[in-house]
Chain A
Amino acid sequence: KQEVTQIPAALSVPEGENLVLNCSFTDSAIYNLQWFRQDPGKGLTSLLLIQSSQREQTSGRLNASLDKSSGRSTLYIAASQPGDSATYLCAIDNQAGTALIFGKGTTLSVSS
């Protein structure tokens, strides 16, 4: 059974700092991996999707990498801003057409 773990559970950094959020999964046979952002009391915003054949995806200040063999993904946020404060969720898609399996998230707080 696929399990997704995110470390750390919470992170506080000053504005401008570069940071890395970690996601690990137990079964390397995945279809794709997605990173989401969730603001308090709100729904999910998709940030990046990495297909199983890809190693990384970039969008603006965000870069996500995928290493299937080691069961790991990282989300790199460059030059963090207070507006980046949110919970970041990693989710695994085991097969095409199935539901996502979510980690518990990393709650990020960026202070100005």
Chain B
Amino acid sequence: GAVVSQHPSWVICKSGTSVKIECRSLDFQATTMFWYRQFPKQSLMLMATSNEGSKATYEQGVEKDKFLINHASLTLSTLTVTSAHPEDSSFYICSARDRVTNYEQYFGPGTRLTVT
């Protein structure tokens, strides 16, 4: 089956620093990737839609200058949390759609971010 990887799986950083999270589709090409955030005991909330070769589309309330998304190739999207604060601590999950089937989204294993 289709596999999506995320790196790192967990990261601890100090307040004010930036963190980059990578999302890769390993065995398929994804023109569209999605970034979700999940706070403890909450469901997944969409942050932004990442399209290869174009600017990301952000959901209402998500600061585009704080959460920088780059989708430079059909297999890689990155999310950079800039000037991280403790309230950014969360579980970040990406997903990718197989451009061939377009039916199912495949999810990465998630990245646990803790900002101290």
Q: Which of A13-21, A36-44, A69-77, A78-86 contacts B (4 or more CB under 8 A)?
A: A36-44
Q: A96-B102, A100-B95, A102-B44 are in contact. Are A44 and B107 (CB under 8 A)?
A: yes
A89 CB within 8 Å of chain B: yes
Quick one: which of A36, A49, A97 contacts B102, CB cutoff 8 A?
A97
B46 near A99 with CB under 8 A, answer yes
Quick one: which of B46, B97, B104, B107 contacts A49, CB cutoff 8 A?
B104
Number of residues in A with C-beta < 8 Å to the partner? 22
B49 near A42 with CB under 8 A, answer no
Contacts of B104 in A (CB 8 A): 34, 46, 49
Contacts from B to A (Cβ < 8 Å): 6, 32, 34, 36, 42-46, 49, 91, 93, 95, 97, 102-110, 112
